[in-house]
Homo-oligomer: A and B are copies of this chain.
């Protein structure tokens, strides 16, 4: 279960409110690379963690941290929206960034939320919980978490580059550092699970003898002209999982032309299809 402390994890201050930057920050709250996503992803992964209970702890702790990050960002959005124009007439005068206009802010932050943050992305699209990946496979989950933190850190650096506000840069420098740690943390968990040669292919509990092993380590080319596909680490040498050797070749069809036959009576098809 969860408890709260009234204080923020890290100070949030805005020297010059900028409602266009508030719109950009919304991506870090409700975008697919944002903090709602990681908070809820770690939380649901924890709730479904089977096997060694240490991963449940690891995940639930970081979920708690990410909830605090949403809180920081939501505060930052509200502070940046102070001073946003409330009428189309005052906009030229009131707007702190020359050239930024009413149209440049996310109108829902004003119309729906009264100058506060919302669980939406920078275009006002609500976050959708289908982005919570919790597979029941601890290695796949850790990999998904590295990915989430990678795109999260990319986003945070883009936001950092977008603003000159010292308070905002300070907050983002903290969040970027946490993303550095979290990338490393989930990679460390994968290492603890045995590293590449133990972990992959995920799931490692499925016997590879049952897969069609002629195609397990073959890089296939689909160039129309039948040319050899582009070469690289993926086309020769030992496979990364250590269980095979990479080869490469152009691919030709092995199946037939599919034919579903005529449609059934009463299935709503056109008479010509029966």
Point out which of A52, A57, A61 has the most chain B C-beta atoms below 10 A from its C-beta: A61
Contact A177 B103 (CB under 8 A): no
6 A-B interface contacts by CB (under 8 A): A2-B68, A24-B107, A51-B270, A57-B229, A120-B123, A126-B130
B residues near A18, Cβ cutoff 8 Å: 88
Contact B274 A205 (CB under 8 A): yes
Q: Which residue of B8, B111, B123, B223 is within 8 Å of A5 (Cβ)?
A: B223
User: Measured between C-beta atoms, what is the minimum distance from A186 to chain B in Å?
Assistant: 8
**Contact mask A104-133 → B, CB, 8 Å, 1/0?**
111110111111111111111111111111
User: Measured between C-beta atoms, what is the minimum distance from A68 to chain B in Å?
Assistant: 3
Contact B20 A103 (CB under 8 A): yes
B residues near A27, Cβ cutoff 8 Å: 107-108, 111-112
Range class of the A interface residue count: 35 or more
User: Measured between C-beta atoms, what is the minimum distance from A117 to chain B in Å?
Assistant: 6
Q: How many copies does the complex hold?
A: 6
User: Measured between C-beta atoms, what is the minimum distance from A257 to chain B in Å?
Assistant: 4
A176-B272 contact, Cβ under 8 Å, with A101-B101, A154-B140, A264-B86:
no
Contact A216 B180 (CB under 8 A): yes
A65-B251, A183-B200 known; 11 new pairs, CB 8 Å cut-off, are A18-B88, A51-B262, A51-B274, A61-B220, A108-B122, A114-B136, A154-B203, A158-B266, A176-B211, A179-B201, A183-B241
Q: Which residue of B65, B129, B215, B270 is within 8 Å of A120 (Cβ)?
A: B129
Contact B106 A104 (CB under 8 A): no
User: Measured between C-beta atoms, what is the minimum distance from A41 to chain B in Å?
Assistant: 9
